[in-house]
Amino acid sequence: MINRLGFNNLGSKNIVDRIKRNNPIGLFGVNIGPNKDSKDRMNDYLECLKTFHQYADYITINISSPNTEDLRSFHEQHKLSELLQALDDEKKNLKSKTPIVVKISPDVGDDEIQKISETLLMNNVEAIIISNTSDSTRGSLTNIQSHQKGGLSGKPIETKSTRLIGKFYKLFKGQIKIIGVGGVDSGKSAYEKFLAGANYVQLYTGMVFKGPNIVNLIKKELKELLIKDGVGNFNEIVGKKE
């Protein structure tokens, strides 16, 4: 899929009211980012943190949507460090224990990976989401709409995100959890993410194509693969890719 939705919604206050009316069941994460036309993007993140921290099981700091112009500049080490330090200070002011998770682009280069890893390790970040959609990776697509503007998701970025997981896993050495995203639509694709170093997986595009029951299908197929390989728990294979 190519999406260009951005962060369109009625605003954080409206979303909080909806959360209050519909008490979430299970693990509940909130994805936050700045307004597209904001004059102070740092403050937008802080305001969203203050608004959502008591309702979320974790808060995702989205610095990687390809649909918000120049948002990916937060991948720069100085800007990322400044943002994460401000968020950590605000968490302390709020006396909040809500974990902070950073969602990155799949299009980062090897030189950026080292710098991002160092910055996350220094700033009390509990987890990283690898990865958001891609604004490149179009070379093998045959559909006439393949080069339209927007973030490319699903199977075309599966290998790219999995390789990126492996690179970050080696640098984190277990200190930061990894949530693997990109092309997860089967037990096998989830298995590959775990092997690369993911502790958890997320999916979106697979659910669009196969419906909500895809979760049960993935769990069933994953269980069969683990049993076949003599693995008692998926945690045993995290980062074991040769």
- Residues with active-site annotation: 65
Asked whether 172 and 117 are in contact (CB, 8 A), the reply is yes
Q: What does the DSSP assignment read for 202-231?
A: --SHHHHHH-TTHHHHHHHHHHHHHHHTT-
Cβ pair 130, 160 in contact under 8 A: no
Give the integer Cα–Cα distance in Å for 198 and 3.
Answer: 24
Nearest to 228 by CA among 200, 187, 189: 187
> β-pairing, 151-152 with 2-3?
antiparallel
**Residue 19: C-alpha distances to residues 14, 15, 211, 212 (Å):** 9, 6, 23, 21
